Structure 1
Amino acid sequence: MPPLLYEDPVLLRGDLHKHAALLACESFQFAASVVAVPLNASEFALAARCYPIVFADTETTVPLAVLGLGGDSNLFVDGEGRWSDGAYVPAYVRRYPFLPVTTPNSDALMLAIDRPRLIERDGMVPADANGLFDGDTASPLAARALDYCERYHRDHLRTVEFVSGLRERDLLETRRADIHLPDQSQFRIDGFRMIDRAKLRALPDNCLGDWFRKGWLDLAALAETSQANWQTLLDRQAARAAANTPPARQRSTRKRADA
């Protein structure tokens, strides 16, 4: 199964994609149905202003930025594919359509791209297209994408170390959220974990000192602070539901409320 957001990643190769180009797209429509995306540790400070930060309740635990309350609806992407003004766009989303690919027994990374965003031509790439190769070498666009993916991967490895520390100390507890909306509808979100505050504060002094120097206590605090953003999601969900409710139904609802 391909990674989240990707349909068919393909490794970029000069011999196969010499005349390939990137299909330009400024829309975030590709992320409109995603309710949570992976988050790296360096993003916690910015993401905590907008989204609840949780941890996937899976074998490979990763931090997640929660973007919606279910129903395959990202509450930060509108019908035109625009991300909400002022809201932080997670690096995982900004990385798309590129993807770092690791090679066995090597630290080297290669660059892949989601095939639907790849224009493959038999002849020369037009001058106004976003070419991925200049002859046999990567184009400036591909070089920048590889640099971004390399930095993302390094940050991912630091994040894995942080999560491993949480798991080793058994600090991640399975949680669920029961959501009650103003229109009386309700549903449950589960399948995620949060840091157990009591266990965190009970860590031995030598461990707390080590975690402080690594910045892990700051990350835990940001994850805890971000939980206030569940209300942000509720407000966005209610506003979207109201915008999608036919006017006649809204009037009927107000009439019953006034009665």
Structure 2
Amino acid sequence: MTQAQPVFYKQPRPLRAEQDATLGLLEGVDYSFAGISNSVPLAAAEFTQACKHYPILFADGAKPQPVALLGLRGGENLFVAEDGAWRSSYVPAYVRRYPFIFMENADKSEYALCIDEAAEGVVRDEGRPLFADGKPTPLLENALAFCRDYQGHHAFTEQFVDALQQAGLLTDNRADVSLASGEKLSLGGFKIIDEARFQQLPEETFLHWRERGWLHLVYCHFISMSNWATLIDLTAAQARD
């Protein structure tokens, strides 16, 4: 069975200095590629910023994953403008790292820096080069550092979600939205933290979570719920255009 690619990525492969000596990225930033998804994965380290702009939910699955909700319809990202600009001051790290990504090798013993060669901004013999004289340019070095940092936050995020599950705090939820136009939207397949159960955590657990920095993440999740109104307003505005 072919393994599904991470969202946005079509043909990710390891970068090689000799093979990719002429590879480069076009100037400018265009987030049009992100317009196909109404959510993106979110690292715990991003909660402080993301909670000011997006609802932070937990995508349903065997292992729930924190996500920033970007639209009320599947395949619709309300934060990507027609010209490819991002309609918010905070762009999730998952989006910012594209077209680069860390991927495990076949035996899962190490990670390699990969690039989605199908990305529209990836070109040859033009743009900002990734290699010069067989060595990574500052552009590629920065991409490597960004992906390494992003991967480094993965374990902490997983530990937080595991703690939520073990405490029985994640609960199934759905959103039913009625627009002024009369259109009704329904969004499911996600979980939220049950605030009542959270308030009943044993004191020992509460103190442990405070030491680990998890309490802050819970509060950021609660704060982010106010951003549903932003999504509804953007959806309504789009319907009027």
- For the criterion TM > 0.5, the same-fold answer is yes
What is the match of residue 92 of structure 1? 94
CA contact (8 A) 2:58 2:66 kept: yes
Give, as a single letter, the amino acid of the residue that structure 1 aligns with 2:192.
Answer: M
Q: Partner letter of residue 132 of structure 2? A: D
Identify the residue that residue 49 of structure 1 maps to in structure 2. Answer: 52
The answer on whether the counterparts of 2:37 and 2:74 sit within 8 Å (CA) in structure 1 is no
Deviation at 1:223, TM superposition (A): 0.2
Q: Per-residue displacement from partner, 1:12-63 (whole Å, max 9, x unpaired)?
A: 1123212222244521111112210111111111111111100010123210
Local SS of the residue matching 1:211: helix
How far apart, in 2, do the equivalents of 1:75 and 1:47 lie? 15
Q: 1:36 to 1:105 in 2, by over 3 A?
A: closer
2:215 aligned to which of 214, 217, 221: 217
Label 1:80 to 1:105 Cα distance change in 2 as closer, same or farther (>3 A): closer
Structure 1 position 136, deviation (Å): 3.0
- 2:21–2:132 Cα contact (<8 Å) kept: yes
Q: Look up the match of 2:226.
A: 228
Q: Which residue of 2 aligns with 1:250?
A: none
Aligned to 2:116: 114
Q: For residues 89 and 25 of structure 2, what CA distance do their matches in structure 1 show?
A: 26
Q: What amino acid sits opposite 1:79 in the alignment?
A: E
1:71 positional shift: 4.6
Matched-pair contact (CA < 8 Å) for 1:177–1:189? yes
Counterpart residue identity of residue 111, structure 2: L
Q: Deviations over 1:77-102 (max 9, x none)?
A: 11111111x43110110011100123
Is the contact between residue 29 and residue 80 of structure 1 (CA under 8 Å) also seen in structure 2? yes
SS of aligned partner of 1:228: helix
The amino acid across from 1:8 in the alignment is Q
Q: 5 Å matches for 1:67-86?
A: 67-84=70-87, 86=88
- Higher-Rg structure is 1
Name stretches of at least 5 consecutive residues in structure 1 with no aligned partner. 244-259
Q: Considering only aligned residues, what root-mean-square deviation do their CA atoms show, in Å?
A: 1.6
Provide the C-alpha distance between the structure 2 equivalents of 1:13 and 1:68, rounded to a whole number of angstroms: 37
Alignment-derived partner of residue 12 in structure 2? 9
Rounded to whole Å, the distance in 2 between the matches of 1:81 and 1:48 is: 23
Query: CA–CA distance in 1 between the matches of 2:164 and 2:74?
Result: 30
Letter in 1 for 2:113: L
CA distance in structure 1 between the aligned counterparts of 2:108 and 2:94, rounded to whole angstroms: 25
Residue of structure 2 equivalent to 1:251: none
For 1:227 and 1:171, the matched residues in 2 are separated by: 16
Query: What is residue 175 of structure 2 aligned with on the other side?
Result: 177
CA distance in 2, matches of 1:72, 1:21: 29
One-letter amino acid matched to 1:141: L
Q: Percent identity?
A: 38
**Contact 1:35 1:74 (C-alpha < 8 Å) held by counterparts:** yes
What is the CA distance between 1:220 and its match in structure 2? 0.5
Displacement of 1:169 in angstroms is 1.6
Q: Secondary structure at the match of 1:116?
A: coil
TM-score by length of 2: 0.92
Question: Number of matched residues?
Answer: 235
Give the TM-score normalised by structure 1.
0.85
The CA distance in 2 between the partners of 1:25 and 1:87, in whole Å, is: 17
Structure 2 residue ranges without an equivalent (≥5)? none
